Amino acid sequence: MAEIIESDSGAKKDGKRRSPKKMGAGVDMTPMVDLICLLITFFMLTTAFAKPKVMEITMPEKDEDTSKKSDIKVAADRTYSIILDEEDRLYWYWHKDSEVDGVAPVFSKWNKTNYGPDGIRKFLLEKNEATVKEITELKDKVTKGEIVMSNDTLNVRIKEIKRKYNTELKKSPIILIKAVEKAKYRNLVDIIDEMAICNVASYAVVDPMADELEILKNAPK
Amino acid sequence: MKKKAPHVDMTPMVDLFSLLLTFFMLTTSFRPQEAAVIDTPFSVSDKQAPDKNLITVAITKDNKVYFDMSNSGTTLDAQGKEIADTATHYRRELLKQIGEQKQINFNEKELQTFETGSSFGMPFPLLKKWLNSTEPQEKEGYMVGIPIDTADNQLGLWVRIARVLNPYAEVAIKGDGEAEYSVIKRVMDIMQENKVQKFNLVTNLQKEELEGEATIQ
């Protein structure tokens, strides 16, 4: 194709063909190929295909007016606090019943755990069993093809299931994530990630209380 | 016998390469120059970051805070529908307004440099020096981070002006895994003071399936 095929004008009049000396002026394409290779490499390396992924988090609105704050009642018996310390350690405790007026709030003892699948994830899955079970069943059915639905519908359904267990049945746990100042950002992302993995419907990132910091000092290392 | 050079027909290869080259040239969007290496933590989230209408606050390993804003955004057309707009010059406006507030005069060249640039992080007095330096080493030396203390809340001013300029802008926080939580919290607080409630935490995708699925049932 790139060879210029000359018309057979070189044939002699007497019909004798000349020895088929190819006069094709072969264009040397090597430099071009070299250049194109270089350019391709350049574009391949500089191109940013994978856009960064993001994790969404909505923070509770901060109200300067503190008098409104105490209005929110949270069911203590399904509220758990997770405390992240500065050296990748993780503690959780249960709020039990602290809603009865005049009675000092009762908290369970602190449990040390870790970020692995045997640690905090196991705990969360246990507490959130009903929700996780229903969502897993739904996802299974979708992957097996028993139910056909688009990803968007699936996400809406998952949200509905979460809401059912959270606000109607009041069964799923409420997690308060409390990180100390010196904690690593990675730990925060890890723990929020676990919330997504374990389908926890309601969680919040809040500041640790003073007594919690006090307990943390003497907590088992 | 005449020696015949073995002739390889390179045409198909060239064809292919040209195609590839065209493809890469058309699809490429250059990786923005990173002000610092930021090693974002992993998560299972696979939501994509928006590429316009974005305010990015980066927090490096040594807790420096950098700011970035995308130049293009969305405007409303005559019918009130949202349309992509690449002719907005948010970055230029941003610097202009900062200059007005802080009585720093930025000339045309500096505005131009700022508009085409990416993330930056330095207190106001260093801005001019940073914009005028051409040495990458020197430029890096000026990146000392934006002050975020309550006494000298410069990040707050950047965010406020950026939010006013582009009300559609979402906020992404791109923190290094080793950054301190207190800094992240402070940045989030500043955002909340400017009425941002939703944050996009930039992460690396890492698939993780629930392996406990069998045991739950």
pLDDT tens digit sequence for B166-195: 888 888 888 888 888 889 888 888 888 888
pTM greater than the 0.90 cutoff: no
What confidence score (pLDDT) does residue A11 get?
45
Give the Å distances, CA to CA, from A50 to A207, B56, B66. 35, 17, 22
Rounded CA gap, A87 and B23, in Å? 48
B53-77 confidence digits (pLDDT tens) = 888 898 988 888 998 888 776 666 6
Burial class of residue A52, CB neighbours in 10 A (0-12, 13-18, 19+): middle
In the three-class reduction of DSSP (H, G, I as helix; E, B as strand; rest coil), residue A184 is classed as strand
pLDDT at A56 over 70: yes
A53 neighbourhood in chain B, CB within 8 Å: 43, 45-49, 202-205
Measured in degrees and rounded to the nearest 5, phi and psi for residue A43 equal -65, -35
Rounded CA gap, A179 and B181, in Å? 7
What confidence score (pLDDT) does residue B213 get?
43
> Distance of alpha carbon B34 from its chain centroid, rounded?
8
In the three-class reduction of DSSP (H, G, I as helix; E, B as strand; rest coil), residue A178 is classed as strand
- For chain A, the maximum distance between any two Cα atoms, rounded to a whole number of angstroms, is 124
User: Could you count the other beta carbons within 10 Å of the beta carbon of residue A15?
Assistant: 6
What confidence score (pLDDT) does residue B210 get?
54
Confidence bin at A106 (pLDDT 50/70/90): low
A148-191 confidence digits (pLDDT tens) = 888 888 888 888 888 888 777 777 888 888 888 888 888 888 88
Rounded CA gap, B16 and B26, in Å? 15
Rounded CA gap, B95 and B162, in Å? 10
Contact A185 B199 (CB under 8 A): no
Kindly state whether A57 is in contact with chain B, defined as any CB-CB distance less than 8 angstroms.
Answer: yes
pLDDT at B8 over 80: no
**Percentage, residues of chain B above pLDDT 90:** 0
In the three-class reduction of DSSP (H, G, I as helix; E, B as strand; rest coil), residue A212 is classed as helix
Kindly state whether B28 is in contact with chain A, defined as any CB-CB distance less than 8 angstroms.
Answer: yes
pLDDT at A64 over 70: no
A60 neighbourhood in chain B, CB within 8 Å: 197
List beta partners, residue B67. Answer: B57, B120
Rounded CA gap, A117 and A85, in Å? 19
Burial class of residue B75, CB neighbours in 10 A (0-12, 13-18, 19+): middle
B181 neighbourhood in chain A, CB within 8 Å: 84, 179-185, 187-188
Contact B216 A57 (CB under 8 A): no
Rounded CA gap, B43 and A54, in Å? 9
Rounded CA gap, B201 and A57, in Å? 7
Residue type, A124: L
What confidence score (pLDDT) does residue A25 get?
67
What is the 8-class DSSP label of residue A9? G
Kindly state whether A103 is in contact with chain B, defined as any CB-CB distance less than 8 angstroms.
Answer: no
Report the complex ipTM. 0.74
User: Could you count the other beta carbons within 10 Å of the beta carbon of residue B160?
Assistant: 17
Rounded CA gap, A131 and B52, in Å? 36
- Is residue A131 within 8 Å of A199, Cβ to Cβ? yes
What confidence score (pLDDT) does residue A50 get?
63
Q: Which residue has the higher pLDDT, A5 or A135?
A: A135
Of the ranges A74-78, B101-105, B179-183, B201-205, which is most confident? Answer: B179-183
Instruction: Look at strands B198-205 and B42-43 and give their pairing.
Output: parallel
- Mean pLDDT is lowest, of A6-10, A114-118, A129-133, B158-162, for A6-10
What confidence score (pLDDT) does residue B216 get?
34
